[in-house]
Amino acid sequence: MATIGQLATRPLKAERNGDKSPASILFLVALWVALSFAVLTLVVLLVTSFMDALPRLDGELFTNYSSQVSPETAGARAAIIGSLWVIVATAVMAIPLGIAAAIYLEEFANPLRWYNRMIEVNLQNLAAVPAIVYGMLTAGLALTIGLRRGVVLAGAIALALLILPVIIITTREALRSVPAEIRQGSLALGATPLQTVWRQTLPSAIPGIATGTILALSRALGEAAPLLLLGGLVFIRYDPNGLFSGFTTLPIQIFNWAGQPQVEFQEVAAAAIIALLGLLLLMNGLAIVIRNRYQRRW
Amino acid sequence: MTITADGGSPAVGTPRSKRGGGFDPTSLRRQSPRHGERVVMGVLIAAALLSVLVTVGIVLSLLLPAISFFREVSFGEFLFGTRWSPRFSGQESYGVLPLITGTAWTTLIALVIAIPFGLGAAIYLSEYAPSRVRKVLKPVLEVLAGIPSVVYGFFALTFVAPVILNDLLGLDVGTFSVLSAGLVLGIMIIPTVASLSEDAMSAVPDALRHGSMALGANKMRTTLRVVFPAAVSGIAASIVLALSRAVGETMIVALAAGTQARMVGGPTEVGQTMTGFIAQTATGESTPGTLSYNTLFAVGLLLFVITFVINMISIRLVRKFREAY
Amino acid sequence: MISTTTTADDAPDASTSASDSSSVAAAPRPQVGASGGTDRYLPEHPTPVIECENVDIYYGAFRAVHDVSLVYGRHEITAMIGPSGCGKSTVLRSLNRMNDLIPGARVTGKISYHGQDMYGSGVDPIEVRRRIGMVFQKPNPFPKSIYDNIAYGPRVTGMKVDSMDDLVEEALRAAALWDEVKDKLKQSAYGLSGGQQQRLCIARTIAVRPEVILMDEPCSALDPIATARIEDLMEDLRKDFTIIIVTHNMQQAARVADRTAFFTAQAAEGTGDRTGQLVEFDLTSKIFSNPADRRTEDYISGRFG
């Protein structure tokens, strides 16, 4: 088919309706513009944030707490430590749950059964539920179980629920990419389905799972909306030190500073953005390294 | 033991019975109870069921306060009222239309940006880009998709509104407008449109392309007349999903659209979206059980219902596309 | 065979089967004739290890196989041949319940292993597969070392093994692979050639000591030289195992099999779905020299399929 196609188009190229016609060229230019717009925006965003942040890219960002009275020395110390606490707690909750659910759905659930299909559709929907709704869920949950809203654990629950569908979906994709022959080979030797998952499928899928999980966690790291529902957590002047400690995170802190009228707050917000983007870049870089180095091509 | 029973054993020299005490070489019944496996299986199923529980939890946590809300405010006033001032003591009004117009304007502007630019990028990546170029550009889109929305909000507030809209384009808009929020929202959802549409177009079999070219169509005609229609439900799904994200996005609109809830008549006006209202009210003081707290959840419920409907349409479209290929 | 404890099984089939308390009539077994290429004397009726009686296999509402009755004889190689879509692989996969893995797959009729209904209640498919191993069309070594590929089965099935090293060596020798890989046991199995990988898969199967080995077109992905090696290996393995092979290659069946079952696909009344059927089952020599059914004759003479 390919060769026939090439043979047939070659003589036509010179004609009016070939790939060199004005309409074709215009079309290609339009596509280029569309793509360049995205790339250009990214560059402008990074450059302007960096320019705004320049006066405040110093050690104080990491050592000082936020301050309402002296914005020029405000720092993101509590927010950075809070972000780390929340993200670790989120990972501890969401990763095992997500992988376990994905294993059931991909390896054991009979797709012909209505309840499994319902779980499937439900999952796709959950992945697209607005982030802020997860905050409302967590607020309601915290009220029910008597948990104080503004603590690390509450924030981690909100973010874990938010990224759970993402982890499940990417883990399933990673499991699906392990060839059926591997599973069959294991089962044919008398291994149980769970042994097969644990000793063959899961180990082979780990690079894909790790990549997807890191990307999901980086989404949680940058997300502020669900945490807004958990109470006023902005001017925290201590290091969050446990699951039941009050906290703030980098995105929340940025949101608050960005909304303040003083220029100094805008600057420190920009500096915090650079710190946040740096963290995210680190995580994304790690995900890409894992994907490129360990992902097996079957 | 019958001879049949030790059938295969001599191949490796050790008698079969060595496999363990009580091993019956021909019985097909379960030889060990494998309790551990049943426990693990239970845990896996419980984890999968948790996702259903989350949905139930979302519905309950939104519905219960919302029901309390509708005990005090009529359904008609909420859905069709044109004045939203829940905190204007003495003259409270709970017409949600201003919030809906705010959401509608920001979403509309976002789609006007995201559809052409996202689809253009997708067509280029799927049909034109050499694999080397694609290898560079796809990660760029991934990075764009990975930027936190609060960063986009800051970008709208400190750059798009003052520098682009005011200085560069000379528009008469203030710091806050649905235009600057919508523009940046559009940029945020470009990767959603681009990467899902690209997946859809890449999934179109090459045979269709070659068939078209063999009939003498050039690349542009093939793309527009063959590939695009073949992938249309997948592309539609990407747009619908992007729409859902635009409706539900909070941080950008909370920072850039403004905090005054009024009926929005044009792109340069200030407006508040549903999510913007929730964010603004939540960061203030709100005590569970009060009307102002319940108001939050009534708006949240409306938001959830709207995005739920949109998501279901998107899921349908994706299924239709998967069936085709 | 490296094993020194195989004397009992090295004896001719007829003598061992005499002491077998099987359902087959204990009538004198006339030695009918040589099977294709192997010059072995075979009883007219095989000593059954696995028996199919009126087996139908469905995928959802679609009936893939209809009314198959077959006996797979102990220490024999039984080949199942026929045009594609005739259900031979489907039947093979039902013999160790690998078709359980396909949602909607269903077996009616009776498949028995030493007289036990393989699909009866209380039967554990895991136990079925421990006794009836399988080698697949495409070599499918695990992404592990050669050593771990062999040790995997004994480990997961909880076999009590005195020395795993010895077991690995014995399995690899039995699969005629030892000399080629003994210096690289810790290397990835993916570094082996296709034929070596397939023999590794056979060694892996042998290591859990099944009674029956199912082979699903085991040579279809291999070149002629690798194919010949596998066929030689099957000849050796017959002494210790019962082998059932599906092949699309008639010459292969003629070369290695003691008995051959010929399947074909027939359009069902009304639906037009093509359902697999067993046409003829007999000694390989008979099937290839003097088939009883016209359709068999047409197929082996190349007139269709």
Residue B202 lies in a domain: yes
| Angle, CA of B287, B291 and B293, to the nearest 5° | 40
* Of the partner residues C4, C74, C160, the one whose CB lies closest to the CB of residue B4: C74
Q: Which has the higher per-residue pLDDT, C130 or C15?
A: C130
Residue B131 lies in a domain: yes
A60-64, B54-58, C267-271, range with the lowest pLDDT: C267-271
A12 φ/ψ sector (left φ>0, alpha ψ -120 to 50, else beta): alpha
Read off the pLDDT of residues A190-241 as tens digits, 9 standing for 90 and up: 999 999 999 999 999 999 999 999 999 999 999 999 999 887 566 677 788 8
Chains in contact with A, where contact requires at least 3 CB pairs less than 8 Å apart:
B, C
Q: What is the pTM of this model?
A: 0.85
- List of chain C residues whose C-beta atoms are within 8 Å of the C-beta of residue A186: 142, 152, 156
User: What is the band of A296 on the pLDDT scale with cuts at 50, 70, 90?
Assistant: low
Residue B301 lies in a domain: yes
CA of A210 to nearest chain C CA: how many angstroms apart? Answer: 18
Q: Which residue's entry shows tokens 């209904």?
A: C117
Residue type, A149: R
The answer to whether C294 touches C262, Cβ cutoff 8 Å, is: no
Cβ separation of C98 and A188 shorter than 8 Å?
yes
A274-283, B255-264, C129-138, range with the lowest pLDDT: B255-264
User: What is the band of C271 on the pLDDT scale with cuts at 50, 70, 90?
Assistant: low
Cβ separation of A185 and C140 shorter than 8 Å?
yes
Domain containing B147 equals 93-324
Instruction: Give the β-pairing of C132-135 and C212-216.
Output: parallel
Read off the pLDDT of residues B238-250 as tens digits, 9 standing for 90 and up: 999 999 999 999 9
Q: Which tokens belong to B245?
A: 């994200």
Q: CA of B221: how far to CAs of A17, A20, B39, B200, C111, in Å?
A: 9, 12, 58, 18, 58
Read off the pLDDT of residues B135-156 as tens digits, 9 standing for 90 and up: 888 888 888 889 999 999 999 9
Read off the pLDDT of residues C38-68 as tens digits, 9 standing for 90 and up: 556 778 888 899 999 999 999 988 889 999 9
Residue B126 lies in a domain: yes
DSSP state of C41: B
ipTM over 0.90: no
Domains in chain C, start-ordered, CATH in brackets?
34-138+214-300 (3.40.50.300)
Q: What is the pLDDT of residue B143?
A: 86
Chain A residue with minimum CA distance to C143: A204
| Angle, CA of B59, B60 and B63, to the nearest 5° | 80
Chain A residue with minimum CA distance to B46: A101
Residue B237 lies in a domain: yes
Q: Give the CATH number for residue B318.
A: 1.10.3720.10
Closest CA to C52 of C108, C9, C11, C100: C108
Mean of pLDDT values over B58-78: 92
What is the count of structural domains for chain B? 1
DSSP state of C188: B
- The rounded percent of chain C whose pLDDT value lies above 90 is 66
Q: What is the pLDDT of residue A2?
A: 47
Q: Which has the higher per-residue pLDDT, A16 or B197?
A: B197
Q: What is the pLDDT of residue B18?
A: 40
Residue partners of B240: CB distance under 8 A and separation at least 6:
B310, B313, B314, B317
CATH superfamily of A60-294: MetI-like (1.10.3720.10)
Mean of pLDDT values over B87-96: 79
* Helices (runs of H) and strands (runs of E) counted in chain C: 12, 10
Read off the pLDDT of residues C246-257 as tens digits, 9 standing for 90 and up: 998 899 999 999
Burial of A22 (0-12, 13-18, 19+ CB in 10 A): exposed
Read off the pLDDT of residues A152-196 as tens digits, 9 standing for 90 and up: 999 999 999 999 999 999 999 999 999 999 999 999 999 999 999
* Of the partner residues A42, A121, A133, the one whose CB lies closest to the CB of residue B304: A133
Residue B59 lies in a domain: no
A156-160, B218-222, C6-10, range with the lowest pLDDT: C6-10
Chains in contact with B, where contact requires at least 3 CB pairs less than 8 Å apart:
A, C
Q: What is the pLDDT of residue B3?
A: 32
* Of the partner residues A183, A188, A199, the one whose CB lies closest to the CB of residue C129: A188
Integer Cα distance of A113 and A109 in angstroms: 8
* Helices (runs of H) and strands (runs of E) counted in chain B: 13, 2
Q: CA of A243: how far to CAs of A153, A154, A279, B322, in Å?
A: 5, 8, 22, 43
Cβ separation of C19 and B29 shorter than 8 Å?
no
Cβ separation of A129 and B279 shorter than 8 Å?
no
Q: What is the pLDDT of residue C180?
A: 94
Beta strand ranges found along chain B (DSSP E): 84-85, 93-94
User: What is the band of A33 on the pLDDT scale with cuts at 50, 70, 90?
Assistant: very high
Is A88's pLDDT higher than 90? yes
C75 φ/ψ sector (left φ>0, alpha ψ -120 to 50, else beta): left
User: What is the band of A65 on the pLDDT scale with cuts at 50, 70, 90?
Assistant: confident
Question: Is the CB of residue A108 less than 8 Å away from at least one CB of chain C?
Answer: no
Residue B183 lies in a domain: yes
Q: Which has the higher per-residue pLDDT, B129 or A56?
A: B129
Is B1's pLDDT higher than 80? no
Cβ separation of A181 and C138 shorter than 8 Å?
yes
The answer to whether A136 touches B281, Cβ cutoff 8 Å, is: no
Residue B139 lies in a domain: yes
Closest CA to C134 of C206, C83, C81: C206
Integer Cα distance of C29 and C22 in angstroms: 14
Report chain A's mean pLDDT, rounded to a whole number: 87
Give phi and psi for A226, each to the nearest 5: -65, -25
DSSP state of C56: E
Integer Cα distance of C145 and C190 in angstroms: 8
Integer Cα distance of A45 and A35 in angstroms: 16
**H/E stretch holding B161:** none
Q: What is the pLDDT of residue A1?
A: 43
- The rounded percent of chain B whose pLDDT value lies above 90 is 54
Is B235's pLDDT higher than 70? yes
CB atoms within 10 A of CB A26: 11
Closest CA to C54 of C70, C39, C41, C69: C69
